[in-house]
């Protein structure tokens, strides 16, 4: 039987960083093939190569036995490949039906667009999936779950030979995931090959026939799912700990007084009823998958989304945080996830970024005191060891790691007691990552209380004293970091690896704990 | 969650332009009928004064809907009046029409090339083109009016009427109808809306967004050239001042009609009603006997009110 997809020796680098290194990947018709790996393993990159968004630097691709030589989205689609893009391919101002059939619209006899026919066909697809989505609704008005179903319908509607689903279930209710699985079985029985990406091992174990695991841009293993019990999968995904993190040591934690306490904290959508305490000198990690409510919790604490229930106590006093300024005044600083858009003004100098959040304090009669600004900038550059030619250079000229330090410095200038870091190491090279984590430890040692969100478990384990595991917007358990270590294991790298496996298992367990269905919208 | 009802008045913010048009018309009809507002001659005059703005605004709907802007249209219309008049003087009306269209295509290709290949934002490209087109028009005409001595051309392009109906009304309706169908019912129109609604998503869906932007900018210049040909026909001459400042009325008409300055949204019907509404307001304010200074203030206030009412509040 001809394979549905054969990718051989695929390599792809982005500015010197090898995202894919000589990777082989083969998918058979009629199977659900899981593609697994941690963050930065190269899953998205190989899918985008297959899908024509990225051109491979080396390697060959065959689809249904025919070589794919042109690397554009149109060429891949013509070859029979369809993919959902985690909402990336939806246009918010068009309707559901218009989005599903964009560039493939139904036509009337005279060649004009026929929106009614598109809506009817969209309805049929949603009926087949047994889900309720209004084909006439404007996508921008939909909730996350409905958008995801629209993305899936868009991929399905192309009646392709290879269907790629990249984390299709993150925003779906449990019952919708069930219906999706039933539908995928129908498709595979017709010979369609499905490539399925998910971080939820329970899903993989149920839906997939075979799995391929990538790590650090390299192929690790391809095997039948029966030969890959969850702990073996996790072992392959985690692998040997890459160097770099090993030299960050967690010091003794001398916990101070309680800085921040959440009591049954509930946000507009997420989180639900989350309670925890954060002490002075402590780093608290939030672990969980996409959509688990980690960032939503951070936004509630930072006053970006006001709490809809529960209480926030800061330094022993109940607080009402309705807007970011309230949180800043209470001594909370959020270093947001999207550095380039939410954290810095790339074209401005290091110094002017640094003083952005304290302009009021260093200004007299509305004029910024430039000496004070320089002083703050120089202090921060020294304290955080930011590598920049000068304080007057544009932040855009700095490396990712140093840009992140500027963002952290900007918030340290407000002299907060509580620092919330959302994915502080995203998009930073491995060397700078350990530097950022060391910085986090140092700040805690200097008496800050830190809440850190990271999808890279090894970093969370290196930086944190305690870890709160979240799923579906709820807190599942608080784990002492030390409890994850095997005291009998003398080698640091292997101990960290063991702890990461343990944490992975706890995160997966939290998912299968029965909770209410996720809310739509 | 989407709980949009489909009734006309339930979505009154979206339809504010139509409601506003009717309200203003009724108010003027009641208060100004003794000054001849409802007189057919007066109403047809509104059409004559609005046609060129409406023609350019149809294309501007495409430009804004795909997330771009074209500030050069007024100057391009002025340049076209001059090239048309000069070509007619040398080689007759047919050559004039060709020269007019060629002017639009040439300017549009240049705008599109600079914007999509060189990567200069259309705001800057067309701002610069505004000066270049005006300068060219002044230069080749030596800043003098060029007379058009072809009655046939003047009749067909803006001066004539069939019975009581001015030819300009046909131009406006035909171009409006074509624009409406192209935007609503063709793949090109849908790609324009998709490009403006989310460029990355559009690219991921296999749309060549640079190509769409290029075409839309050419479309806009050609529409400006047609408006210039209509100016030339109606005033039987080419002058560089014709069309000056029209870009602001054109953008106002499109935005009044519900087209988003941020792309992704727009209707040609709304734009035409927006253009007519501006013409209606101008006419009514003159009949009221307001001074020019007062007209400017009243017109600005009405436009702000209409756009403010159409905004959805969070």
- Is residue B2 predicted with pLDDT exceeding 60? no
Q: What is the pLDDT of residues A16-40, one digit of tens each?
A: 678 899 999 999 999 999 998 877 7
Q: Could you tell me if residue B61 is inside a domain?
A: yes
Asked if the ipTM is above 0.85, the reply is: no
pLDDT class for A383, splitting at 50, 70, 90?
Answer: confident
Q: How far is CA A481 from the centre of its chain?
A: 22
Instruction: Tell me the average pLDDT across B180-199.
Output: 93
Report the alpha-carbon distance of residue A181 to residue A206 in Å, rounded. Answer: 9
Contact of A106 with chain B, judged by CB distance below 8 Å, is answered with no
Q: State how far the alpha carbon of A16 is from the alpha carbons of A11, A13, A19, A39, in Å.
A: 12, 6, 9, 18
Distance from CA of A116 to the nearest CA of B (A): 11
Lowest mean pLDDT among A101-105, A282-286, B238-242: A101-105
The mean pLDDT of B182-193, rounded to a whole number, is 93
Give yes or no for residue A302 having a pLDDT over 50: yes
Looking at mean pLDDT, say which of A30-44, A51-65, A325-339 comes out highest.
A51-65
Suggest the residue from A53, A88, A99, A102 to mutate for an interface test with chain B (most B CBs closer than 10 A): A102
Distance, CA of A233 to CA of A237 (rounded, Å): 6
Q: Please report the pLDDT score of residue B247 as a whole number.
A: 92
Helix (H) or strand (E) holding B254: helix B246-256
B72 assigned to some structural domain: yes
Q: How far apart are CA A14 and CA A4, in angstroms?
A: 28
Q: Which of B194, B196, B265 faces A102 most closely, judged by CB atoms?
A: B194
**pLDDT recorded at residue A520:** 41
- Across the interface, of A89, A92, A112, the residue whose CB is closest to B205 is A89
Distance from CA of A24 to the nearest CA of B (A): 25
CA B90 to chain centre: 30
Would an 8 Å CB–CB cutoff place A146 in contact with chain B? yes
Q: CB of A155 within 8 A of CB of A83?
A: yes
pLDDT, position A72: 87
Question: What SS3 class is residue A453?
Answer: strand
Mean pLDDT of A73-101: 86
Is A138 touching B (CB cutoff 8 A)? yes
Say yes or no: A105 contacts chain B, CB-CB below 8 A: yes
A 313-372 residues with CB < 8 A to B: none
A139 membership: H or E segment, kind and range: none
- Nearest CB to A105: which of B4, B187, B264? B187
Give which of B185, B195, B202, B312 to mutate to test A binding, by max A Cβ within 10 Å. B185
Whether B149 is in a domain gets the answer yes
Of the candidates A387, A405, A385, the residue with the CA atom closest to the CA atom of residue A344 = A405
Q: What is the dihedral of CA B33, B37, B40, B43, to 10 degrees?
A: -150
Cis peptide before B273 (omega within 30 of 0): no
B81 close to B212: Cβ distance less than 8 angstroms: no
- Burial class, A462, CB count within 10 angstroms (exposed 0-12 / middle 13-18 / buried 19+): buried
Residues B46-72: pLDDT tens digits? 998 899 999 999 999 999 999 999 999
- Cross-chain Cβ contact A102/B202 below 8 Å: yes
- Residues of chain B in contact with residue A90, where contact means CB-CB under 8 angstroms, are 198, 201
CATH number of the domain enclosing B186? 1.10.3470
A97: tokens are 């039906």
**pLDDT score at B242:** 94
Cβ of B205 and A146 within 8 Å?
no
B3 in a structural domain: no
**How much is the average pLDDT of A481-496?**
83
Tell me the average pLDDT of chain A. Answer: 85
Nearest to A47 by CA among A167, A152, A221: A167
Q: Which residues pair with B161 in a beta bridge?
A: B166
Q: Which helix (H) or strand (E) holds A148?
A: helix A144-156
pLDDT at B303 over 80: no
Which residues of B fall below an 8 Å CB-CB distance to A? Answer: 1-2, 4, 181, 184-187, 189-191, 193-194, 196-198, 200-207, 260, 263-265
Beta carbons of A88 and B201 less than 8 Å apart: yes
Residues in chain B: 314
Instruction: Read off the tokens for A127.
Output: 């009926």
pLDDT reported for residue B172: 95
Min Cα separation A347/chain B (Å):
18
Position B260 in a domain:
yes
Statement: residue A394 has pLDDT above 90: no
Confidence (pLDDT) at A183: 87
Q: For residue A519, what pLDDT is reported? A: 42
Token look-up 């008005």 returns A141
pLDDT reported for residue A518? 42
Instruction: Identify the residue with better confidence: A147 or A32.
Output: A32
Residues B207, A102: C-beta atoms closer than 8 Å: yes
Per-residue pLDDT at B4 = 44
Residue-wise burial string across B126-156, b where 16 or more C-beta atoms lie within 10 A, e elsewhere: bbebbeebbebbbeebeeebbebebeebbeb
Closest residue by Cα to residue B197 from B260, B257, B250? B260
Neighbouring CB atoms inside 10 A of A8's CB total 14
Highest mean pLDDT among A126-130, A466-470, B261-265: A466-470
Smallest CA–CA distance, residue B179 to chain A, in Å, is: 13
Q: Which residue of A has its CA nearest to B201?
A: A89
Q: Across the interface, which of B181, B194, B203 has its CB nearest the CB of A94?
A: B194
What total of structural domains would you count in chain B?
1
Q: What are phi and psi of A419, to 5 degrees?
A: -120, 125
Name which of B181, B190, B201 is nearest A105 (Cβ-Cβ). Answer: B190
**Minimal C-alpha gap between A104 and chain B (Å):** 9
Distance CA B190, CA A91 (A): 11
**Dist CA A502 CA A231 (whole Å):** 9
pLDDT score at A117: 92
Look up the domain containing B197 and give its range.
Answer: 38-311
Tell me the range of A32-46, A419-433, A484-498, B97-111 where mean pLDDT is highest: B97-111
The pLDDT confidence band at residue A433, using thresholds 50, 70 and 90, is: confident
pLDDT higher than threshold 50 for residue A418? yes
Least confident of A147-161, A418-432, B211-225: A418-432
Q: How sure is the predictor about A245, in pLDDT bands with cuts at 50, 70 and 90?
A: low
Lowest mean pLDDT, pick from A163-177, A202-216, A507-521, B57-71: A507-521
Q: Which of B280, B261, B282 has its CA nearest to residue B272?
A: B280
Q: What is the pLDDT of residue B108?
A: 97
> Binning pLDDT at 50, 70 and 90, where does residue A413 land?
confident
Give the distance from residue B91's alpha carbon to the nearest chain A alpha carbon, in angstroms: 39
Domain membership of residue B118 (yes or no) is: yes
* Confidence check: pLDDT of A284 > 60: yes
User: In the predicted model, what is the mean pLDDT of residues A398-409?
Assistant: 84
Tell me, what's the pLDDT at A248? 64
Q: What are phi and psi of A323, to 5 degrees?
A: -145, 160
The three-state secondary structure class of A136 is: coil
Shortest CA distance from B184: residue in chain A:
A113
Chain B: nearest CA to A264, how far in angstroms? 26
Q: For chain B, say whether A73 makes contact (Cβ under 8 Å).
A: yes
Q: What percent of chain A stands above pLDDT 70?
A: 93
C-beta neighbour count of B170 within 10 angstroms: 15
Q: Are residues A93 and B196, on separate chains, in Cβ contact within 8 Å? A: yes
Q: Which of B2, B189, B202 sits opposite A134 (nearest CB)?
A: B2
Task: Judge: A85–B204 Cβ closer than 8 Å, yes or no.
Answer: yes
Mean pLDDT value of segment A474-490: 87
Which range (A96-105, A274-283, A341-350, A372-381) has the least confidence? A341-350
Q: Is residue B28 part of a domain?
A: no
Residue A242 has pLDDT above 70, yes or no: no
The distance between the two most distant Cα atoms of chain B, rounded to a whole number of Å, is 64
pTM: 0.76
Does the beta-carbon distance from B204 to A89 stay under 8 Å?
A: yes
Nearest Cβ partner for A94 among B4, B181, B197: B197
Lowest-pLDDT range of B4-8, B73-77, B139-143: B4-8
Question: Which chain B positions have a beta carbon within 8 Å of A103's beta carbon?
Answer: 187, 191, 205-207
- pLDDT (tens digit per residue) in A168-203: 887 777 778 888 898 889 889 989 999 998 877 878
Q: Compute the average pLDDT of residues B190-217.
A: 91
The residue that leads in pLDDT, A42 or B276, is B276
Cα Dmax for chain A: 79
What residues in A contact B191, CB-CB < 8 Å?
A: 103
Tell me what pLDDT residue B300 has: 85
Taking CA–CA distances from A74, the nearest residue in chain B reads B206
What local confidence, expressed as pLDDT, does residue A239 receive?
Answer: 74
pLDDT of residue A247: 59
Tell me whether residue B93 is in a domain. yes
- pLDDT at site A489: 80
Which runs of E-coded beta strand occur in A322-441? 332-335, 363-364, 367-368, 418-422
User: Any idea which of A47-56, A192-201, A212-221, A245-254 has the lowest mean pLDDT?
Assistant: A245-254
pLDDT given at position A516: 45
3-state SS, one letter per residue, for A278-334: EECCCEEEEECCCCCCHHHHHHHHCCCCCCCEEEEEECCEEECCCCHHHHHHCCEEE
Q: What are the CB-based long-range contacts (under 8 Å, 24+) for A458-462?
A: A458/A238, A458/A241, A458/A245, A458/A496, A458/A500, A459/A245, A459/A425, A459/A433, A460/A285, A460/A287, A460/A503, A461/A285, A461/A496, A461/A499, A461/A500, A461/A503, A462/A245, A462/A248, A462/A250, A462/A434, A462/A437, A462/A496
Q: Which residues of B touch A94 (CB under 8 A)?
A: 190, 193-194, 197, 264
Average pLDDT over residues A211-235: 88
A431 pLDDT above the threshold of 80: no
User: What would you report as the CA-atom Rg of chain B, rounded to the nearest whole angstrom?
Assistant: 20
């Amino acid at each position: 039987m001809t394979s549905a997809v054969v990718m051989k020796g695929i390599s792809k680098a982005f500015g010197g960083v090898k995202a894919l290194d000589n990777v082989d990947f083969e998918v058979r018709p009629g199977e659900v093939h899981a593609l697994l790996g941690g963050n930065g393993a190269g899953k998205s990159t190989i899918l985008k190569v297959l899908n024509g968004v990225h051109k491979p630097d080396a390697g060959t691709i065959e689809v249904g036995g025919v070589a794919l030589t042109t690397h554009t989205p149109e060429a891949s689609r013509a070859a029979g490949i369809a993919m959902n893009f985690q909402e990336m391919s939806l246009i918010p101002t068009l309707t559901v039906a218009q989005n599903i059939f964009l560039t493939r619209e139904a036509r009337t006899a005279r060649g004009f667009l026929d929106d009614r026919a598109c809506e009817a066909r969209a309805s049929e697809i949603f009926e087949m999936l047994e889900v309720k989505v209004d084909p006439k609704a404007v996508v921008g008005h939909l909730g996350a779950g409905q958008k995801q179903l629209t993305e899936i319908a868009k991929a399905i509607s192309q009646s392709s030979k290879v269907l790629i689903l990249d984390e299709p279930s993150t925003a779906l209710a449990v019952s919708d995931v069930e219906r999706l699985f039933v539908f995928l079985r129908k498709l595979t029985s017709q010979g369609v090959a499905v490539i399925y990406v998910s971080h939820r091992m329970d899903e993989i174990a149920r839906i997939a026939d075979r799995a391929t695991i990538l790590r650090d841009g390299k192929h690790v293993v391809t095997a039948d799912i029966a030969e890959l019990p969850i702990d073996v999968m996790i072992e392959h995904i985690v692998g040997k700990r890459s160097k770099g993190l090993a030299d960050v040591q967690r010091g003794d934690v001398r916990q101070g007084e309680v800085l921040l306490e959440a009591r049954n904290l509930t946000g507009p959508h997420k989180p639900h009823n989350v309670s925890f305490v954060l002490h002075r000198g402590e780093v608290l990690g939030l672990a969980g998958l996409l959509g688990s409510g980690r960032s939503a919790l951070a936004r509630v604490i930072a006053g970006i989304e006001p709490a809809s229930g529960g209480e926030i106590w800061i330094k022993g006093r109940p607080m009402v945080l309705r807007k970011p300024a309230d949180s800043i005044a209470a001594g909370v600083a959020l270093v947001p996830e999207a550095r380039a858009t939410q954290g810095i003004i790339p074209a401005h100098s290091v110094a002017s970024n640094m003083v952005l959040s304290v302009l009021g304090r260093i200004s007299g009669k509305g004029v910024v005191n430039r000496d004070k600004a320089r002083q703050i900038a120089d202090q921060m550059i020294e304290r955080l060891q930011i590598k920049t030619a000068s304080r007057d250079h544009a932040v855009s000229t700095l490396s990712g790691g140093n840009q992140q330090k500027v963002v952290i410095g900007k918030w340290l200038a407000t002299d907060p007691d509580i620092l919330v870091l959302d994915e502080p190491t995203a998009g930073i090279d491995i060397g700078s990552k350990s530097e950022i984590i060391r910085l986090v430890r140092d700040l805690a040692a200097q008496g800050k209380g830190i809440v850190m969100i990271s999808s890279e478990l090894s970093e969370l384990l290196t930086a944190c004293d305690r870890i709160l595991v979240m799923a579906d917007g709820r807190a599942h358990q608080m784990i002492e970091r030390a409890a994850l270590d095997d005291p009998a294991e003398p080698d640091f790298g292997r101990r960290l690896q063991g702890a990461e496996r343990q944490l992975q298992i706890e995160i997966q367990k939290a998912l299968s704990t029965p909770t209410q269905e996720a809310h739509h919208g | 969650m989407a709980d949009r009802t489909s009734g006309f008045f339930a979505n009154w913010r979206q339809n504010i332009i139509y409601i506003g048009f009717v309200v203003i018309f009724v108010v003027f009809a009641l208060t100004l009928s003794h000054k001849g507002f409802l007189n057919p001659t007066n109403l047809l005059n509104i059409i004559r004064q609005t046609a060129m703005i409406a023609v350019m605004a149809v294309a501007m709907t495409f430009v804004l809907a795909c997330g771009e802007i074209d500030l050069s249209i007024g100057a391009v219309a002025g340049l076209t009046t001059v090239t048309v008049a000069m070509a007619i003087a040398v080689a007759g009306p047919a050559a004039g029409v060709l020269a007019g269209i060629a002017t639009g295509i040439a300017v549009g290709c240049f705008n599109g090339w600079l914007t999509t290949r060189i990567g200069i934002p259309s705001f800057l490209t067309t701002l610069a083109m505004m000066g270049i087109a005006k300068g060219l028009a002044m230069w080749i005409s030596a800043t003098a009016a060029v007379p058009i001595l072809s009655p046939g051309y003047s009749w067909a392009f803006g001066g004539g009427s069939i019975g009581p109906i001015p030819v300009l009304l046909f131009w406006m309706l035909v171009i409006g109808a074509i624009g409406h169908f192209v935007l609503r019912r063709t793949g090109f129109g849908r790609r324009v809306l998709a490009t403006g609604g989310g460029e990355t998503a559009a690219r991921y869906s296999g749309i060549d967004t640079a190509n769409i932007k290029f075409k839309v900018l050419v479309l806009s210049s050609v529409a400006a050239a047609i408006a210039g040909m209509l100016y030339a026909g109606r005033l039987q001459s080419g002058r560089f001042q014709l069309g000056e400042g029209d870009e602001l009325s054109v953008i106002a008409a499109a935005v009044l009609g519900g087209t988003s300055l941020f792309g992704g949204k727009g209707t040609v019907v709304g734009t035409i009603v927006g253009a007519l509404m501006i013409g209606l307001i101008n006419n009514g304010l003159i009949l009221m006997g307001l001074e020019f200074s007062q007209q400017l203030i009243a017109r600005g206030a009405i436009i702000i009110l209409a756009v403010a009412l159409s905004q959805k509040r969070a």
